[in-house]
Amino acid sequence: MVKKSVLGKLSSTELESYLKAGNRFTPEAVLMAFEILEERGRTFSEEEKTQICQLIQYKKNQEELKLQEEQEMWEDNITEDPQAIKLFPRNIILLISFIVGTVPGSILLGINFIKLKKYTPAVFTFIFGFIYLPVQYFLVAFMHKINSQNVSSFRKSPEVFAAALGMLFLLLLWASYIPKKLPYRATSYIFPILISLVMIMIIYTNQNLFSSHFLVSLAR
């Protein structure tokens, strides 16, 4: 955030550029530049003041619009419309990815992409889900190695951090390739539950291979 004391060090000519249409400065910076110029004795006509006020309001509207678009990008638009496409819900995918791992999460998300005929993101998602397994293993091992303290806090666990990181990547893939404001119906939870149970069995029967999962750390 720009401070008035910082803008006060600029020359009047430089401050004038803050008041020109099409500049990239924030509305707060424009207002500060206007106030500083008035304090320096610059006289503005009523027409100039109106234009500056309109410029500030326009910039505020643009910021609000950008914020709204960013919020909409992260919204999950589940609907009851029978005409809407059926997809695995985002929150279910993220929950499964965090608890069980990126493999089942990427499978569910990849199937969503296939339903939307986004085949390239689907392939990339499948690959990421499986590649993240060894990455997660070495990441957790590295974090344990550099951790000089014996941290037993659940929130500070490297296993939890790695699980959350994998989940975050899948969330970014969803936000990047699922169309904004796309209404969809939540498909049956049977397959997500089954694939999660299978993955849990695989994890617990191969604990050495999946030692980076926090489920294994909890079981020990």
Full residue range of the structural domain in which residue 145 is found:
86-219
Q: What is the pLDDT of residues 37-70, one digit of tens each?
A: 999 999 999 999 999 999 999 999 999 988 877 7
Ramachandran region of residue 152, left (φ > 0), alpha (ψ -120 to 50) or beta?
A: alpha
146 and 95, same structural domain?
yes
Beta-carbon contacts of residue 77 (< 8 Å; ≥ 6 apart): 181, 182, 183, 184
69 and 19, same structural domain?
yes
100 and 196, same structural domain?
yes
Q: Which of 53, 74, 95 is the last residue of a domain?
A: 74
In a domain, 80, yes or no: no
**Cβ distance 100 to 196 under 8 Å?**
yes
52 and 108, same structural domain?
no
CA–CA dist 214, 156 (Å, integer):
11
67 and 172, same structural domain?
no
Helix (H, G, I), strand (E, B) or coil at 175: helix
> For the chain, how many structural domains are there in total?
2
In a domain, 79, yes or no: no
CA–CA dist 170, 165 (Å, integer):
9
98 and 149, same structural domain?
yes
Q: What is the pLDDT of residues 76-89, one digit of tens each?
A: 788 888 899 999 99
> What's this model's pTM, rounded to 2 decimal places?
0.68
> Which residue type, as a one-letter code, is found at position 123?
V
Where residue 147 falls among pLDDT bands split at 50, 70, 90? low
Q: Which of 74, 107, 123 is the last residue of a domain?
A: 74
Q: What is the pLDDT of residues 160-169, one digit of tens each?
A: 888 999 999 9
Helix (H, G, I), strand (E, B) or coil at 104: helix
